[in-house]
Each structure stands twice: as C-alpha cells, then as structure tokens.
Amino acid sequence: MKGIAVIADRDTATLFKLAGVGSSFIADSPDEAEKVLKSLLDEDFGVIVLTKSLAQSIQRTIAKLAKDRKYPIILVIPGKGEPIEKEAISAQEYIKKALGIGLKTG
C-alpha cells in the first residue's frame, strides 16, 4: 500500500503537503472530492483523509466504499474553520481495526 492520501480544502491540503504527505489533493466542492476519491481507489492507498465538510456531502459514496472494501480506511478530520469534536472512534482505533495491532503513543 502507498500510505496516506488527503482530500481537503486548500489550506488543509497544503498543511498536509508541508507535513510530508505528498498525495494531498485540493477539492473545492463535494463533486470534486468524490471524483478525486474514486480516482484514488485504483492507487492502493491504505488511508484516505477527508475533511468533515467534504465527507458529509459524499456520505453515500463513503458508506458504499466501507461496505464493499476493507481498504482504504476513510478518516474524517475537521477542516479549516470546522470545530474539533470528540469523535466516537479515534484514529488509533481505526488503525487497530484495520491492521489488527495497536499503536503506542507517548
């Protein structure tokens, strides 16, 4: 697997690119996000990160992917200007579910 891809607003995608995630894609609309997401499915990514506003708009596509495929894991994060909420499942729990191993932190 190639690792992580990001689909986000311009600022969020740029921050991920600066942090070393080379596969960071800017999506200015839900249609654009869905098109990028579908194109990434052929590239064997293990995790695709989407901003919350984009993910909410293409929830049906994401739900179908989760049902039909084990990978990629779709991880939803807050984008620029979106509130940070305590999610029901943490990123560590997603990874443990996908890989079958836990990650040590700290």
Q: Where are the domains of the chain?
A: 4-99
Question: Could you read off the pLDDT of 67-97 as tens digits, one per residue?
Answer: 888 788 888 888 877 766 665 556 666 666 6
pLDDT tops 60 at residue 103: no
Q: What is the largest CA-CA distance in the chain?
A: 39
Q: Which amino acid is at 80?
A: K
In this prediction the pTM is: 0.75
DSSP letter at 84?
A: P
Q: What kind of fold does domain 4-99 have according to CATH?
A: Rossmann fold (3.40.50)
Question: Could you read off the pLDDT of 7-65 as tens digits, one per residue?
Answer: 999 999 999 999 998 899 999 999 999 999 989 888 888 889 999 889 988 988 888 88
